[in-house]
Amino acid sequence: MPRAIVIVGSGGRLGAALLREWGARGEQVLGFDRASLDLGDFPAMHERLDPLDFDVLVNCAAQTNVDRCEREPEEAFRVNSSAVATLAEICARKKARCIHLSTDYVFDGTKGTPYDEDDAPNPLSQYGASKLGGERALLAVSDRHLAVRVSWVFGPDRASFVDQIIQRALEQDRVEAIADKVSVPTYTLDAARLLLALVDRPEIGGIMHLCNTGECTWQEYGQHALDCAAALGLPLRTRVVEPLKLADMKGFVARRPVYTPLSNAKFTELTGLTPRPWKESVEDYVRTTLAPRALSSTATANPDRPARSS
């Protein structure tokens, strides 16, 4: 069915992927990045969005820097909570649906098993609290709106943990990652396909969890990325990710929850779709995006040396 989709936050990791992937599938999609729509400027939001005719608005924009949110909670709540209320109201007035992206950081991480949508949130940080505020503001406007919680987002449009760990292993003899914090990676290209199933189902409102399946620590996530990179012939200086403790991360300003895997059971029940395991998605991403990038920059840096090790 033809429908018009607006993507707010189209300059970010997930928003850019949705704009490109949905456009390639023939969806009528219009993106706003930060320069064209500032979620700190509510009158400007009305000015840009009120004149438009659309059926669904997907909000991927957020202040996502967890420590910055802790230091600057006013900005966090303005962008992650109050602006969401404004978007939700603009959509409701048009009878459009607002699909808003949220986070596993709304939970305190003490449950010990994967979180369902009905579990009580209890954020430990200003980021988590501001995102929870956004969900509540959204659903207070309309129960047709949908908050989709994702976790550990990675993909080709903006570097994240997986890009950084491979880059470090290409440059350094030792790499480390936290081994006592557990969550689930979410691949933006998988999310693009799976979120479209939610766009297709306007009767689904409320809260939904959506990530790849399984769970891992940051260390396991990084180790799998290095295993994939090594198998593809990347000239890594180390192939092992050493463990770090969350408590040793003295640079962290905000508290992080230690165990926040999200259950996809509700998503699967309602859509009939099961996201693939995170390991497959990471392998796909390393093979299709990171390895070609790394090999071409190695070849450029060393024109006389073959890029692949034997």
Ligand X SMILES: NC(=O)c1ccc[n+]([C@@H]2O[C@H](COP(=O)([O-])OP(=O)(O)OC[C@H]3O[C@@H](n4cnc5c(N)ncnc54)[C@H](OP(=O)(O)O)[C@@H]3O)[C@@H](O)[C@H]2O)c1
Active site members: 127
Query: Which of 40/306 has CB closer to ligand X?
Result: 40
d(CA 199, CA 189): 16
| Angle between helices 218-231 and 278-285 in degrees, nearest 10 | 50
| Residue number with CB closer to ligand X (64 or 298) | 64
Instruction: Name which position in 3, 34, 94, 136 contacts ligand X (CB under 6 A).
Output: 34
* Interactions with ligand X, residue window 118-147 (CB under 6 A): 131
**What is the footprint of ligand X within residues 50-89 (CB under 6 A)?**
60-64, 79
Q: What is the smallest separation between the CB atom of 295 and ligand X, expressed in angstroms?
A: 25
Q: Which of 14, 191, 210, 294 binds ligand X (CB under 6 A)?
A: 14
Residue of 5, 6, 7, 13 that binds ligand X (CB under 6 A): 13
- What H or E segment, with its residue span, contains residue 282? helix 278-285
- Return the residue of 5, 6, 18, 39 that touches ligand X, per CB under 6 A: 39
**What are the DSSP E strand ranges found in 61-116?**
97-103
Give, in order, the Cα–Cα distances in Å from 252 to each of 41, 68, 104, 152, 246. 29, 10, 18, 17, 9
Residue 33 one-letter amino acid: D
- Alpha-carbon gap, residue 303 to 40, rounded angstroms: 47
Q: Are strands 186-187 and 146-150 parallel, antiparallel or unpaired?
A: unpaired
Which of 22, 107, 115, 152 is close enough to bind ligand X by CB under 6 A? 152
> How many other C-beta atoms can be found within 10 angstroms of the C-beta atom of residue 293?
13
The reply to whether 38 sits near ligand X by the rule CB under 6 A is: yes
What is the contact surface with ligand X in residues (CB under 6 A)?
9, 11-15, 34, 37-40, 60-64, 79, 101, 103-104, 131, 150-153, 158
